[in-house]
Structures are given as structure tokens and as C-alpha cells.
Chains A and B, each alone.
Chain A
Amino acid sequence: MQDAIGILLLPALGSLIAAVFGRSLGRKATSYVTVGAMALAFVWAVSVFLRMLSLPPAQRSFDPVYWQWIKAGSLSLHFGLLIDPLSAIFLLIVTGIGFLIHLYSIGYMHDDANFQRFFSYLNLFAFAMLVLVTADNFLFLLVGWGAVGLASYLLIGFWHTRPSAVSAARKALVLNVAGDVGIMLAIFILVMTLGRVSYSGVFSHISSLTSLQVELIAFLLYLGAAAKSAQFPLHVWLPDAMEGPTPVSALIHAATMVTAGVYLIARAYPIFHAAPVAAEWVAGIGAFTALFAATIALVQNDIKRVIAYSTVSQLGYMFLAVGISAYAAGIFHLTMHAFFKALLFLGAGSVIHALSGEQDMRKMGGLKKFLPITYWTFLIGTAANAGVPFFSGFFSKDAILGEALATGHFWLWLVGVVAAFFSALYIFRLFFLVFHGTYRGDGHPHESPPVMTVPLVVLAIGALLGGYLAVPGAWNLFDQWLAPVYSRYPGGLLPAAATAPNWGAIALTSVLVLAAVWVAWNLFGRQVREELPEGLRPIHKVLYNKYYIDEIGHAVFVWTVDRLAVLADLFDRVVVDGIVMGIAALVKGWGEALAPFQSGYLRRYGLAVLIGGVFVVAYLTLV
């Protein structure tokens, strides 16, 4: 598996070529290079996957080491990759869905002036993400972690002439860096306590740490994960990130990057296993986020924002899963989510494309007849997201909820179920508002070109059938595949009882989801309700303003830092410079006090010299 590094290098190369030669290559050649790189990487990843598949489960982990990164005293690090079933899944997701989105982008970004730059960034992102998921130690995880943040920053701010995009990009980067710092601190503690940062080294020595240390490390890692995966209250950047081009939202802010947090916790499960408090915290916040974001998504009017809050909500589910040690379920949901959320975003992109950039759902409606392919694929995505039975989201979400209930997290399960109801409600609201009813805009909608619809179809197939990898009560290929990873260290696997299907719960959620669909159809499908009932207005306002989290965060952090900075600047000018100037003034004052002795009369000076000379001579002769 030494060759797996090639999967990383392909997009890196593509990015470099697009950046340096993009202008001279032209649009077409650039798109061939970058999309080709992704295609090749995907093929390569598949080959890795197949080769892995051919091996017995216990031997499916590889750790090729390439070079020594640094050796400075107690800090010693190598650059190496970890290719095991977990990273293989991510390799497939990143390269596969990445490839589809690249393809889609050719059509979506067709008219953009900075086409080549976009593809360069996109490939850069793929590279960074691959580094993140294949690193064999926390430090290179952090490298990838930072790099995906950068790519995200670049792509969010891609339309840099829009002030909102610029500020969104900045917000995303700063929050992400805050998360990076969490991981960095965790690494410090690891270096200090264990003297190593490689996964294998850390995980096999967890027991030598005190529980406080482990909790601390876990919390710090969670800080990074929460920032990246938009967990409450660090989620604020993700909806704003919709300022970026839609394929970016699909790739980075739905399918891959935002799930890095889930990956981190799933990867570092021995730590979280040893840190029950942190794990509970992860699950609790995850459940809360799922509900919280779903409620906000109910009232948003921007099509991409609804999907973004949906993403936050779904990420909450995944955190809930990894928080209760249901790692395989979490990853399963992650994979399914990658399919259907990418599908939803790309579908939304197709809609926006069709409406020449219109994103407000109040100006859509009745698009079913204009965009047939988009309509049907979007429907599949919607159903999967809502958890409509027998679509992929149904299987993965219910696996999580079932395992939560089975492990005794009743309240988390309850929150999850309520959130599931809202999920179905908001996503079908979106669906009906966009595709049903009558067209309320003034444009001329048209179906997207094949280069955009083909990925939609492929993803729709994934969203439709992916769930059958793990059918409750029948088989669970996902658990099987990941078993070697999670059996290596203690705490990776749930007891068999917990994974058994709880038919009652499944039925309950199914009913709730269908009820939500019905509600949505009545409220938004047949005709659009213009007016809200009086009693709901305040609630609507709170929800529409996203619980004012942005404003609070701004007030607390940005304002404080700004004041501090202004204060420091003032201090610099007044006190520090003041002291210096004060000393200067003191010297000047002395000078001025002594200046009158310089009368300016030459003869005075001469007299002074004479008198001094006389005294010297007197001293020499008389004393």
C-alpha cells in the first residue's frame, strides 16, 4: 500500500498545474487535468479498496512511512500514511463524490471568469482532505485539517468581490483556526505526556494517562472537531459559507470537510472511550445541534441555507453516534449523508443555475415541469434526508437512533426523534416550495446540461441504494468492514445487543417522518401559506434569526477582541511611546535648563576656558 500516496499526489499535482499553467492551458485543458486527476485518484482508491478487500480482515491496515518530518528533542515525527478500512471509506468518498462534483462544476462554473482558479482550489481541497483522512498521526491530521480550512476559506471567498462572501470566508477561517488550536493543544499534551503523536503510539499508551489528561485531550480534539463540523455553538460559519459556489457547498460543506470532525472522533475512539465525560458531551451537543439546526432550517427562505442547516443537523446526528460509541453507525450515516447531501446541494445548484442565480425559495415553485431530471433526483435526495423508509437516510439514521436507545441514552434518542420529525418537515417544505405549486419568479428556467445532470443521477442512485449496505435485522456490511479498525483497541465496538434493531422505535420514527411529509404537503405543497398564525410570529422571528447566535457570538468575542486590540494599540501609542517620548522630553528639558550657559558670546567662552585653564595650572603647580 506504499503507493497510496499517489492518490494524494494526483490532486496536488492537478492543483499546481491549474494554478501555474491554468491561464495558458485554457478552460478545457484545465478541467481535463483536474477532473482527470480526480478520476484517476478515484480509480486508484478503488484499487486500494479492492486490494484491501482481498486480504483477510485482520491484515487490512497499512502504515507506510515516507520520511522523517522533524526531530527536535522530544518531538519526533515521521510523515506516514495510515491506510485501513476507515480511511479507505473516506478515500472512496472524497475521490468518488469529489470526482462527481468536479464533473458537475464544469457545467456549473462554465461562465465564471476564474474557472481555472476554481478548479485549482477544488483539487487543492481534495488533496488536503486526503491528507487529513490518511495521516497516520495527529500532526499530519492537523496539516490536512488546516489545509482543508484554507481551501474552504478560498472557495467560500471565491467570489471575492462580494463583501458578504469575504466576511463569510474570514469567519470560517478564524473559527476553523480556533478549532485547529484545540487540536494543536491536544498534540502538545500528547507530546508532553506520551512523547508521541502517531495514532498507534498514542492509542496503545492511553492507559498510561490519567483520566483528567484523557478528558482534556478529548475535549480539545472535540473543540477542533466541533469547529470543523459546525457543532453548536461553532456552527455559525457553515450557513454563511453558502456564499461560495454551490459545488463547493456540496463537496466541502456537505459531503467531506464538515464530516472531518466525525472522522476525527471515529479515528480517535480509544481516547474518547477513555474519556466518558467528553464522549457524553459529544453526544449531547450532537443531539442538541441536530434539533437546534433543524428548527432553524424550518423557516429559512434561502434554498442553500436550508440545506446548510440541514447539514448541521445531520452532523449533529453523526456526533450523537460517535458520542455514544456507535462509530460504525456514525460513519454509515456520514457516508449516506455524503451521497444525499451532495445530491441535494447539486440539485439546488441545478435549480439556482436554472434560475440564473436566484436562491430565494419564495421566488421559485412549480419547477417540476421545467427541470424533470433535477426534480426526480432531488426527490430521492429529499426522501433520503428526511429518512423516509427504505431510502438511505432511513437506514443510517435509524441505526443511530436505535443504538442510542439501546445504550440507554433515552433523552438523546427522544431529541433525535423530534429532530427527525423536523428534518422531514423542513426538507419537504423546501421540496414543495421549489418544485410544486406555481412558478413565482420571473425568469426562464431550463434544465441543466448533462455534465451536471449525470452526477445528479449517479448520486441519486447512491442515495437510493446505499442504505441497503446495512439493512436492520438482515445484514450490516458496514459494521463488518469497519470491525478490524474498531476491534484493535478497546471500546470500539458496541455490544451485539445494542446493534440489534428496535422495531418499535423504527416504526415510531417512520410514522413521524411520514406525518411530517403530510404536514409539509398541506402547508407548502398544495398552496403556499403567505401568512403565519399570530401566535407563531415570535417563534418564527427567533428561528428566522437563528436564535441570535451570530449576534451573541459577535458581541461576546469579536467585540471583546476588538476592544482589547484597540486598547493595546492605545497602550502602544500612549504608554509605551509615551515613556520613550517622556525620556526624550526629560533630556530635552535638561538641555533647555542648561542652555542659557551658552550665551553665544565667543569671548565668554574664551573667558571660561581661561579660568578653567588657570585652575588646572594652579592645581598642577601648587598642589
Chain B
Amino acid sequence: MLSSVVFWLAAAVAIVGAGGVLLARNPVHSALSLVVNLAALGVLFLLLHAEFLAVVEILVYAGAVMVLFLFVVTLLMAGTKTPKEEHRFRLAYQFLLAGLFGFILLVLVAHVMLGADWISSLAGPNVGSFGSIAAFGTALFTQYLLPFELTAVVLLVAVIGVIVLGREHGANR
């Protein structure tokens, strides 16, 4: 019962947050909306017994990634003016088509979700250690060790990439 309430609440917040990302003029507001959305998702994760992921979501996404976003937004926004009006109608049908096809996409996916026979059933009771750090760690470091190692490579590449980009910029000056 309680979890239902929490779900609807969190879902509403998530949608509002998403809408904020979509509609906010100001990138800072967008970013804040996204943080709200992420927080709501964190709650939903908790409802789905993904405690660790919920925390990671907040910690990494809200705590690091979005801060980085804000950092850049505030840095860039400092000197920018409002965009020129002449750009506004250059892509005349962009809004219309994007909305239309976004909606079609939603309908299609929802159609699939609702059409599947298993989908209306409730999930079974939580079993054992599902969702715990221990279970997660076991899965990550045994069965999915290789992907995990590969993310290390991805991060390394990202680090190198950022260093190179940063230096390039310095060299240009």
C-alpha cells in the first residue's frame, strides 16, 4: 500500500522533472529538473529493491555527473547571450515531427509492454539477497568481470580524451 503511494508520488516527480528538462528555458533549471528526476528514480530503484543502485544513481549521477553539468553550464552561460531569433524557425517542422514521432514511439513501446501476457502480474516476493551489495558484488566480480574490466578501459579512454581535449585547447591559446 505504502509502496504504491510512494510509486505514484515518485513517478509523478520523475515525470515533472523530465518535463522540466524538456521545457525549461534556462539550462540551470533543466539541470535541476534532471536532478529531481534522478532523485525520483533513486526512490523508484529503492522500491525495486535496488538499494545499491539507488545510492549509486544519486551518488554518481546527481552527485558527480550533474554537478559537472552545472559546472559547465554556469561556466558557459556566464558570457552567452540569448540565442538569435533567426535560428528559431530554420527547422520549421522539427518540433512537430519530433513530438509526433516521440509520441508514436511511446505508443508503440507501451503497446508492446501492455500486450505481453506476463506484464500485468506482480513481481514475486523478494528472494534472498537480491539487490544487496553482496549479491551485486558477486555478480559483478564473477559473472560480469569482463564487462567490468572493460569499463575500466572506457574510463581510461575518457580520461585520456579529456586530457587531450584540454591540452588542445591550451595549445590553441
A contacts B: CB pair < 8 Å: yes
Chain A residues close to B by CB (< 8 Å): 601, 603-604, 607, 610-611, 613-614, 617-618, 621-622
Given A610-B102, A617-B105, A621-B108: 19 more A-B contacts, CB < 8 Å: A601-B90, A601-B91, A603-B91, A603-B94, A604-B91, A607-B94, A607-B97, A607-B98, A607-B101, A610-B105, A613-B105, A614-B101, A614-B104, A614-B108, A617-B108, A618-B104, A618-B108, A621-B112, A622-B108
What would 27 A/B residue contacts be, using CB atoms closer than 8 Å? A601-B90, A603-B91, A603-B94, A604-B91, A607-B94, A607-B97, A607-B98, A607-B101, A610-B98, A610-B101, A610-B102, A610-B105, A611-B97, A613-B105, A614-B101, A614-B104, A614-B105, A614-B108, A617-B105, A617-B108, A617-B109, A618-B104, A618-B108, A621-B108, A621-B111, A621-B112, A622-B108
Set of chain B residues within 8 Å of A601, measured between Cβ atoms: 90-91
Whole-angstrom CA separation of A601 from B89 in the bound complex: 13
Interface pairs A-B: 7 shortest CB-CB: A614-B101, A610-B101, A617-B108, A621-B112, A614-B105, A614-B104, A611-B101
* A598 CB, nearest partner CB in chain B, Å: 14
Could you tell me which residues of chain B, from 100 to 139, have a CB within 8 Å of some CB in chain A? 101-102, 104-105, 108-109, 111-112
Measured between alpha carbons, how far is A375 from B111 in the docked complex, in Å?
124
Give chain B interface residues in 126-158, CB to chain A under 8 Å: none
Chain B 70-106 per-residue mask, 1 if CB under 8 angstroms from chain A, else 0: 0000000000000000000011001001100110110
- Which residues in B have their C-beta under 8 angstroms from that of A613? 105
Chain B residues with Cβ below 8 Å from A610 are 98, 101-102, 105
Spell out B's residues near A (CB within 8 Å): 90-91, 94, 97-98, 101-102, 104-105, 108-109, 111-112
Q: Which residues of B contact A618 (CB under 8 A)?
A: 104, 108
Report chain A residues within 8 Å CB of B108. Answer: 614, 617-618, 621-622
Distance of A614 Cα from B102 Cα, bound (Å): 8
Min CB distance A616 to B, Å, is: 10
CA of A618 to CA of B105 in the docked complex: distance in angstroms? 8
Q: How far is the CA of A473 from the CA of B39 in the complex (A)?
A: 136
Chain B residues with CB under 8 A of A603:
91, 94
| Bound Cα distance A569, B118 (Å) | 77
| Complex alpha-carbon distance, A607 and B95, angstroms | 10
Chain B residues, Cβ within 8 Å of A611: 97, 101
A618 CB → nearest B CB, Å: 6
Once bound together, how far apart are the Cα atoms of A610 and B112, in whole Å? 18
* Distance in Å: Cβ of B102 to nearest Cβ of chain A: 7
Least Cβ–Cβ distance between B45 and chain A, in angstroms: 26
Residues of A within 8 A of B105 (CB): 610, 613-614, 617
Cα–Cα, bound, A603→B101 (Å):
14
Distance, CA A601 to CA B97, complexed state (A): 15
What A residues does B112 contact at CB under 8 A?
621
Provide the bound-state CA to CA distance between A622 and B115, in Å.
11
Bound-state Cα–Cα, A610 to B97, Å: 10
Chain B nearest CB: distance from A587 CB in Å?
30
Report the bound CA distance from A621 to B104 in whole Å. 12
CB distance from A432 to the nearest CB of B (A): 92
